[in-house]
Amino acid sequence: MKDQRAQQILQSLVNGADPFSGQELAAGTVLQNVEVMRAMLAGCSALEDRAARASRRAGLPRNIGQAWTPEEQERLIQAFKNGEDLQEIATRHGRTTRAIESRLELIGMITSEQRTTQNRFGAGQSESERVTGGGGRARAKSRKSAE
């Protein structure tokens, strides 16, 4: 069963209606028990949260949170050395501009001062935490000076 349909059924029951006929439910059924009602509301809320999360994730790059392979890192290095636009590199790699800049900083091709996106993680965070940051849409400053 699809989440949307499950949510419609639960919402009908919460509203006291038969989800199939639309008719009002008989008084005194278990569905009017406070705990059952709370459980149905919790189910509705969980389904809404899941739908919202899926919607947000649909707009994220395909490789967000994925480990970098050596081959991908080599393609990044070459693209950066060729002076390609960071947003274009990010799109091609299925990553955010922030992730691209984080990786470039991690491998020493740019400094933190050259970044155009903000590092969400402060000092003391692990390298893996530093390179999995989220979005940003900008171009790196002074790309040539990092070479």
Please determine, for residue 124, whether its predicted confidence score (pLDDT) is greater than 50. Answer: no
The answer to whether 36 and 30 have CB atoms below 8 angstroms apart is yes
Residue 120: per-residue pLDDT: 66
In a domain, 64, yes or no: no
In a domain, 79, yes or no: yes
Please tell me whether residues 40 and 93 are part of one structural domain.
no
Judge if pTM exceeds 0.75.
no
Please tell me whether residues 88 and 126 are part of one structural domain.
yes
Please tell me whether residues 49 and 83 are part of one structural domain.
no
Task: Residue 9: give the domain boundaries.
Answer: 3-58
Please determine, for residue 89, whether its predicted confidence score (pLDDT) is greater than 70. Answer: yes
Please tell me whether residues 29 and 86 are part of one structural domain.
no
Give me the amino acid identity at 36.
Answer: V
Please determine, for residue 24, whether its predicted confidence score (pLDDT) is greater than 90. Answer: yes
Please tell me whether residues 82 and 27 are part of one structural domain.
no
Please tell me whether residues 74 and 120 are part of one structural domain.
yes
For residues 82 and 147, what is the distance between their CA atoms, to the nearest angstrom? 10
Residue 58: per-residue pLDDT: 85
Residue 7: per-residue pLDDT: 93
In a domain, 81, yes or no: yes
Q: What is the average per-residue pLDDT within 98-126?
A: 81
The answer to whether 89 and 79 have CB atoms below 8 angstroms apart is yes
Q: What is the average per-residue pLDDT within 1-7?
A: 91
Residue 95 confidence class, pLDDT cut points 50, 70, 90: very high
Is the C-alpha dihedral spanning 120, 122, 125, 127 positive or negative?
A: positive
Which residue reads 């009017």 in tokens? 32
Please tell me whether residues 96 and 138 are part of one structural domain.
yes
Q: What is the mean pLDDT of the chain?
A: 83
Three-state SS annotation for the chain: CCHHHHHHHHHHHHCCECCCCCCECCCCCHHHCHHHHHHHHHHHHHHHHHHHHHHHHHCCCCCCCCCCCHHHHHHHHHHHHCCCCHHHHHHHHCCCHHHHHHHHHHCCCCCHHHCCCCCCCCCCCCHHHHCCCCCCCCCCCCCHHHC
Residue 138 confidence class, pLDDT cut points 50, 70, 90: very low
Please determine, for residue 31, whether its predicted confidence score (pLDDT) is greater than 70. Answer: yes
